[in-house]
Amino acid sequence: MPKRERNKFVKRGQVIEILIEDYAFGGKGIGRIKNEHGEFVVFVPNTLPGQLVKAQVKKSSKKYAECKLFEVLKPSEDEIDSPYQEIPGAPYIKLPIEKQHEYKKQSTLELFKRIGKVRDIEDKFDAFVNSPNTFHYRNKMEYGFSAIGYNHELKTDVDEFTLGFKKRGTWWCGDNLNNDSGLFDADVENNLKNIRSYCENTGLAPWHAPRKEGFFRYFVVRKSYKTNKLLFNLVTTSYDLPKFNLNKFAEYLTELFGDRVAGFLHTINDEIGDRTIATTGSIELIYGEDKIVEELLGLNFEISMKSFFQTNPKSAEKLYAKVVEYALEKQEAVDNSVVLDLFCGTGTIGQIIANKANNTKIVGVDIVASAIEDAKENAKRNNIEGLKFYAADVGKFLTEHPEYKNKIQTIVLDPARAGIAPKTLNKIINLNAERLVYVSCNPATQARDTEQLMQAGYQLKKISLVDQFPHTAHIETVVLFEK
- The average pLDDT across 294-316 equals 88
- Rounded CA separation 113/163 (Å): 43
393 annotated to a ligand binding site:
no
Of the two residues 308 and 479, the one the predictor is more confident about is 479
**Which pLDDT belongs to residue 422?**
94
25 annotated to a ligand binding site:
no
Q: Going from the N-terminus, what domains does the chain have, and what CATH number goes with each?
A: 14-79 (2.40.50.140), 102-133+312-482 (3.40.50.150), 140-296 (2.40.50.1070)
343 annotated to a ligand binding site:
yes
What confidence category does residue 270 fall into, taking pLDDT thresholds of 50, 70 and 90? very high
Known catalytic residue at 67: no
215 annotated to a ligand binding site:
no
**Which pLDDT belongs to residue 277?**
73
Portion of the chain with pLDDT greater than 70, in percent: 98
Q: What is the per-residue pLDDT across 308-348, written as a single tens digit (0 to 9) for each? A: 788 999 999 999 999 999 999 888 777 778 899 999 998 99
Phi first, then psi, for residue 413 (nearest 5°) are: -125, 130
- The average pLDDT across 86-100 equals 93
The β-bridge relationship of strands 435-440 and 410-413 is parallel
Q: What is the per-residue pLDDT across 179-217, written as a single tens digit (0 to 9) for each? A: 999 999 999 999 999 999 999 999 999 999 999 999 999
What confidence category does residue 231 fall into, taking pLDDT thresholds of 50, 70 and 90? very high
**Which pLDDT belongs to residue 360?**
87
**Which pLDDT belongs to residue 3?**
53
**Which pLDDT belongs to residue 302?**
85
What confidence category does residue 386 fall into, taking pLDDT thresholds of 50, 70 and 90? confident
- Rounded CA separation 103/22 (Å): 10
Q: Which of 186, 153, 154 is nearest to 84 (CA)?
A: 186
Q: What is the per-residue pLDDT across 389-402, written as a single tens digit (0 to 9) for each? A: 999 999 999 999 99
Q: Which of 261, 221, 215 is nearest to 238 (CA)?
A: 215
What confidence category does residue 6 fall into, taking pLDDT thresholds of 50, 70 and 90? low
Mean pLDDT computed over every residue of the chain: 93
**Which pLDDT belongs to residue 273?**
84
Please answer whether residues 172 and 209 qualify as being in contact, where contact means their C-beta atoms are separated by less than 8 angstroms.
Answer: yes
State yes or no: pLDDT of 1 exceeds 60: no
Q: What is the per-residue pLDDT across 348-380, written as a single tens digit (0 to 9) for each? A: 999 999 988 888 899 999 999 988 998 998 899
Secondary structure of the chain in the HEC alphabet? CCCCCCCCCCCCCCEEEEEEEEEECCCEEEEEEEECCEEEEEEEECCCCCCEEEEEEEEECCCEEEEEEEEEEECCCCCCCCCCCCCCCCCCCCCCHHHHHHHHHHHHHHHHHHCCCCCCHHHHEEEEECCCCCCCCCCEEEEEEEEEEEECCCCEEEEEEEEEEECCCCCCCEEECCCCCCCCCHHHHHCHHHHHHHHHCCCCCECECCCCECCEEEEEEEECCCCCCEEEEEEECCCCHHHCCHHHHHHHHHHHHHHHEEEEEEEECCCCCCCCCCCCCCEEEEEECCEEEEEECCEEEEEECCCCCCCCHHHHHHHHHHHHHHHCCCHHHCCCCEEEEECCCCCHHHHHHHHHCCCCEEEEEECCHHHHHHHHHHHHHCCCCCEEEEECCHHHHHHHCHHHCCCCCEEEECCCCCCCCHHHHHHHHHCCCCEEEEEECCHHHHHHHHHHHHHCCCEEEEEEEECCCCCCCCCEEEEEEEC
Q: What is the per-residue pLDDT across 109-140, written as a single tens digit (0 to 9) for each? A: 999 999 999 999 999 999 999 999 999 999 99
**Which pLDDT belongs to residue 282?**
87
What confidence category does residue 164 fall into, taking pLDDT thresholds of 50, 70 and 90? very high
